[in-house]
Amino acid sequence: MQNLFIRNVRPMGADPTSVTIRDGRIAGYGQEAGGGAEILDTEILDAGGAILIPGLVEAHTHMDKTLLGMGWYRNEVGPRLIDKIDNERAQRRLLGIDPARQSARQAVLAASLGTTHIRTHVDVDTEVGVAGIEGVLATRERYRDLVDIELVAFPQSGMLIRPGTVELMDRALQLGAQVVGGLDPAAIDRDPKGHLDVVFGLAERHGVPVDIHLHEAAELGAFSMELIIERTRALGLQGKVTISHAFCLGMTDQDIVAALIDALAEARIHILTTAPASRPAPAVKRLVEAGIVVAAGTDGVRDTWGPYNHPDMLERAVLVGLRNNLRRDDEVALALDTCTHGGARMMGLEGYGLDPGDRADLVLVEGETLAEAVVSRRPRRLVLKGGRVVARDGVALVEAP
C-alpha cells in the first residue's frame, strides 16, 4: 500500500505540521515520522496550510432513492407523511429508480465532498421486497475503497399494516443490512407496542443496533420515545439505539423535554438530527451538554420527498449551526462535531479520529480557521479513505455511473 507524507497541514486548525500515513493509518505527525529510508516508497504532498479534519460522517440518508443524475422531478405531493410515502412507492416504478445506480451516484458525490462513512436507511416493503437492500449492498461492495456504507433495513411503508414486511426485514438483515430500522410506531403502524416489539425482537435475534425514524410530534412522540427507552433498558441495548429526527424533543413543554433528555442520557440513546428549518427539532447543544451523542445527516437527497438536500456534511454543519443559533467559533466546532465524531460515535466506528493509529479517513479543508472552513465550505482540497487519495479539489477520482 502507498504511504503518504503530507507537509504543511493544520490538524483541526492548529499550527502547521506534517502527517505520515502508513498502511492506511495515521503513523504520526512531524517531520521525523516521514523521514529516513521509508521516504523512497512514500508519496509526498503539500497541503498548503489546509486544515486536516477526520472524514465527514453522513449518519442518516436514503441512497436507494435519490434522484441524482435523473431528470428533474416535478413535486406535486400532498402534505401528509403518508402522502409522501405512498407517492414514493408509485414513483419508484414510474421513474425506474435503480437502487444500485442511484446509491452509487450519491456515494461518489458524497466522497468528493469529504464523506468517508455513511449510514443509509434502505426501503424494505412488500412491493420492492429486498431489491433496494441488494442494490445498495452492491454499491457498498463496489465502492468499498471509496466510502464505508452501513445499511439500515427500513420499513418505510410501515410494518404491521403491510403483512409480509416483518419477514422481509428479517431477510434484509440476513442479506447484510447491519442495523434494524423503524418508523413512527404510533402514527404509521398505529400499534406502538407491536411495532417496537418487532423492531427490538429483530435487533436481539440478529445482534444489530436499532435506528428508528421518529417524526411523531409533541406528546405522541414523547410517548413513543418512552417506549423506546424502556425497551433499550430492558434488553441491555444502551449505546446501540439511535432515534432519528426526534422532533418531539423540540416541543414547547420543557418539563417533558427535560425528563426525556435525562432518560435518553441514562439509556445512552443517540439522537440524529437533520436540523430541519421547518419543524421543531432537538436542541443540539443541550443534548450534548447532557452527555447524549448527537449525529447529523442529510436525509433524502433530491428525491420525491423534496428537492433541496445536498449531501455535503459541511453544509449540514452550517444548517445545524443556523437551526441551533450557534455563532461562536467553539459553537461552530460543535456543529461540525455532529458531522464527524458524533456520527462516528453513533455508528461505533473503530479507529476514527486524528490520533496516531487511527484510520487515515481524512479530509483537507480550506480556511483560516475551522469555523471559516465550515462556513465557506470550499471544494475539499483532498479526501483520503484508508490512506488513499479518493478525491482532489472537489472531484472524486472514480466516476459515478
Contact footprint for Zn ion (CB under 5 A):
299
Closest to Zn ion by CB, 244 vs 324, is 244
* Nearest-approach distance from CB 167 to Zn ion, in angstroms: 23
Closest to Zn ion by CB, 248 vs 333, is 248
* Nearest-approach distance from CB 168 to Zn ion, in angstroms: 18
> In what helix (H) or strand (E) does residue 151 lie, and over which residues does it extend?
strand 148-154
* Nearest-approach distance from CB 289 to Zn ion, in angstroms: 26
Give the pairing type, strands 148-154 and 179-183: parallel
Query: Could you tell me if 270 and 34 are in contact, meaning their C-beta atoms sit under 8 angstroms apart?
Result: no
* Nearest-approach distance from CB 394 to Zn ion, in angstroms: 26
* Nearest-approach distance from CB 10 to Zn ion, in angstroms: 35
Which residue is nearest to Zn ion, using beta carbons?
299
Give the integer Cα–Cα distance in Å for 367 and 327.
17
Query: Could you tell me if 228 and 193 are in contact, meaning their C-beta atoms sit under 8 angstroms apart?
Result: no
Closest to Zn ion by CB, 189 vs 299, is 299
Which cell numbers hold the place of 394? 472537489
Closest to Zn ion by CB, 213 vs 359, is 213
Nearest CA among 219, 220, 262, 226 for reference residue 243: 226
Residue that is written with C-alpha cell 449540514 in the block: 316
* Nearest-approach distance from CB 152 to Zn ion, in angstroms: 9
Closest to Zn ion by CB, 299 vs 312, is 299
Closest to Zn ion by CB, 20 vs 106, is 106
Give the integer Cα–Cα distance in Å for 191 and 310.
34
Rg, C-alpha atoms of the chain: 21
Give the integer Cα–Cα distance in Å for 269 and 264.
5
